[in-house]
A = this chain, B = another copy of it.
Amino acid sequence: MQRQRTIDLNADLGEGFGPYRIGDDLALLDIVTSANVACGFHAGEPAIMFATFQAAKARGVAIGAHPGFEDRAHFGRRPLPLSPHEIEQIVAYQVGAACGMAALAGHRITYVKVHGALSNIASVEEPVARAIAKAIRAVDPSLVCLSLAGTAGERGARAEGLISAAEVFADRAYNPDGTLVARGLPGAVLDDAATIAARVLAMLEQGGVIATDGTFVPLSMDSICVHGDTPHAVGIVARLRQALAEAGHQLAAFAPVTP
């Protein structure tokens, strides 16, 4: 018996800058149900945000603000020495900017997912997770906070009274404690479309992930995070979507625009 019939696929999008692009945003927008859009700090900029929001709107894809550290040169992947209070401010700024830009593009931000090093920190430091949640709540308390399942990110969002949604990764191996196997380690990143599809189906059926040591780790799963930075990656996601549909799962945004 399947535990879940409706699921969301989310991906990071709009991560270009000026003349640069990462991945094929339009191809991904045809597959995913939620788009996490960079807000001009770690990547993205007004023009790309606008175009991405418009394209998402045209495809009925939900949009989330995807704030990060202000560090284009390292794509927001390095931890910067900011206090929780400063993090609160950069999140409020970026979420506000995304809401403004979405309005201009005729769409609406319905959730927030933090990026890169900021996400890594929020996953383990609850004061940071709460700072992020406070900023989101101040800008718009109806925004859903999308966090890595089972982490401080989830707890922080709930502690601040936000609606929290949990994501798991389609293509990453998990440790027995529910954290991700570090990227450098062997087997940390899955790369085979069939394996990934089968794994995600199993995760949905069982309501958790199988860790590297065989342990079952129960995790809530409102969304599955996918990546699309290479043509190969887009193919994996397309295959996953097809497998989900064939298995009877309905693909739908976890935070849809409501009237």
Contacts and interface: CB of A to CB of B under 8 A. Distances in A.
Contacts of A139: 99-100, 103-104
**Which secondary structure dominates where chain A touches chain B?**
helix
Contacts of A104: 88-89, 92, 134-135, 138-139
A95 B21 CA distance: 26
Contacts of A99: 96, 99-100, 139
Interface in A38-83: 40, 43, 45-47, 49-50, 70, 72-75, 78-81
A65 to B, nearest CB: 9
A18 B71 CA distance: 9
Nearest to A50: B89
Contact of A46 (B46, B74, B93): B93
A166 interface: no
Interface in A97-137: 97-101, 103-104, 134-135
A71 B253 CA distance: 37
Contact of A72 (B18, B74, B88, B89): B18
A96 B97 CA distance: 4
A86 interface: yes
A247 interface: no
A34 interface: no
A21 B16 CA distance: 11
Contact of A90 (B46, B72, B89): B46
A259 interface: no
Contacts of A95: 100
Contact of A103 (B50, B90, B96, B100): B96
Contacts of A20: 16-17, 20-22
Interface in A1-47: 16-22, 40, 43, 45-47
A94 interface: yes
16 contacts: A17-B72, A17-B73, A18-B75, A19-B74, A19-B75, A20-B21, A40-B93, A46-B86, A46-B89, A49-B93, A88-B104, A93-B97, A99-B139, A103-B139, A104-B135, A104-B139
Q: Name the 4 nearest CB pairs between A and B, nearest first.
A: A96-B100, A20-B20, A97-B97, A46-B89
Interface of A: 16-22, 40, 43, 45-47, 49-50, 70, 72-75, 78-81, 86, 88-90, 92-101, 103-104, 134-135, 138-139
